[in-house]
Amino acid sequence: MDYFKIDLRSINAGFNHQFGNFLTLINYCYFNNKKMIKPIFKLDKKHNGNKKSNIKTDFSKYIQIDKIMVNNNLFKLYDDNKNIDYTIKRKKYKYGLLKRDEFFKDLKNANIQYQMIDDIVNIGSYISNTLGNDYMCIHVRRGDKLKKKQMVIDTEPESIKKIIDKYDKKQIYIMTNNVDDIKPIRDLIKDKKIFFFEDFDSLKKIKDNYYLYCVEKEIMKYASIRCSTFNVKKKIKNNTFYHCYLTNFGGWQ
């Protein structure tokens, strides 16, 4: 079995974007019987509260990478060794997506299972228990993903209220990259409790927005009503995770 080592310094993106690349690499190495050297990904500082530098990670800060299962088999990742040459040297990728590259085209998809680290799961579970067992969680993506005027309108407080009013939930947790834009919804909805990350001490102390995002995904997982920013059914057929969405445009969470 040969080693597989890739230089990804040319790609600078958000968590889901880079984690998608991670899954692409796992698929490739699994089906081609390669020993995968832990790749290093760059998480863009613009999604991390405009911190001064990007985050370099092998995802072990967020995912239990030593417990990844592929088709019910443990998938081992190997520590880097400078004596091992790069299989793929630094290059540019269309949209920063490995799956768009000729090298990875027509790649099969294995059943990949992974777990978040215990701290992320525990904090998410604690917040979920605090909210009760019957709450609504809404993901509101603002800024860079909103390419059309209608998308901006669909993610404003007045529009979000219309979605909330469709469901009889008294507790609403809103995960968003722009709390200040969405906070006025509290003035529009008086009979429900609206929560943001800053309402919980265990979330406020998290300095890494990507870490916070992972915790909030756990909070979303336990919600009885889960609302996406985008109509993910346009990207994922037969999606059953989300019950509703804010804007009919497709996109990624």
Q: Residue 249: its pLDDT value, please?
A: 78
* 141 belongs to a structural domain: yes
Mean pLDDT, residues 110-125: 97
Same-domain status, 123 and 229: yes
Q: Are residues 172 and 217 in the same domain?
A: yes
Q: Which of 96, 113, 130 is the last residue of a domain?
A: 113
Query: Is the pLDDT reported for residue 13 higher than 90?
Result: yes
Shared-domain flag, residues 83 and 132? no
- List, for residues 56-78, the tens digit of each pLDDT value: 999 999 999 999 999 999 999 99
Judge if 80 and 154 occupy the same domain: no
Residue 100: its pLDDT value, please? Answer: 92
pLDDT at 253 over 50: no
Higher pLDDT, 119 or 81: 119
pLDDT tier for residue 146 given thresholds of 50, 70 and 90: low
The answer to whether 87 touches 4, Cβ cutoff 8 Å, is yes
Interval 188-238: pLDDT, tens: 999 999 999 999 999 999 999 999 999 999 999 999 999 999 888 766 667
End of a domain among 64, 89, 113? 113
Which of 133, 243, 95, 127 shows the shortest CA–CA distance to 196? 127
> How far is residue 8's CA from residue 57's CA, in Å, rounded to a whole number?
11
132 with 231, same domain: the answer is yes
- Statement to judge: residues 145 and 49 lie in one domain: no
Same domain flag for 154 and 59: no
Check which CATH number belongs to the domain holding 194 and give it.
3.40.50
Rounded mean pLDDT of the chain?
A: 92
Among 27-36, 85-94, 142-151, 175-184, whose mean pLDDT is lowest?
A: 142-151
Q: What is the pLDDT of residue 234?
A: 65
Sheet of strand 112-113, all strands in order from the earlier edge strand to the far edge:
73-74, 69-70, 112-113
pLDDT at res. 199: 97
Residue 101's pLDDT is: 94
Whether 228 maps to a domain, the answer reads yes
Higher pLDDT, 183 or 253: 183
Statement to judge: residues 138 and 98 lie in one domain? no
% the chain with pLDDT above 90: 80
More confident residue, 247 or 135: 135
174 pLDDT exceeds 80?
yes
Task: Please give the average per-residue pLDDT across 44-49, as a whole number.
Answer: 80
**Structural domain of 9:** 2-113
Q: Check residue 82 and give its pLDDT.
A: 86
- Stretch 151-173: mean pLDDT: 94
User: Are residues 132 and 215 both part of a single domain?
Assistant: yes
Residue 152 lies in a domain: yes
pTM of the model: 0.92
User: Span 13-36, mean pLDDT?
Assistant: 96
Residue 144 pLDDT exceeds 70: no
Whether 253 is covered by a domain: the verdict is: no
Domain stop point among 92, 113, 134: 113
Q: Count the domains in the chain.
A: 2
Q: Does 82 lie in the same domain as 186?
A: no
My answer on whether 203 and 226 are in the same domain is: yes
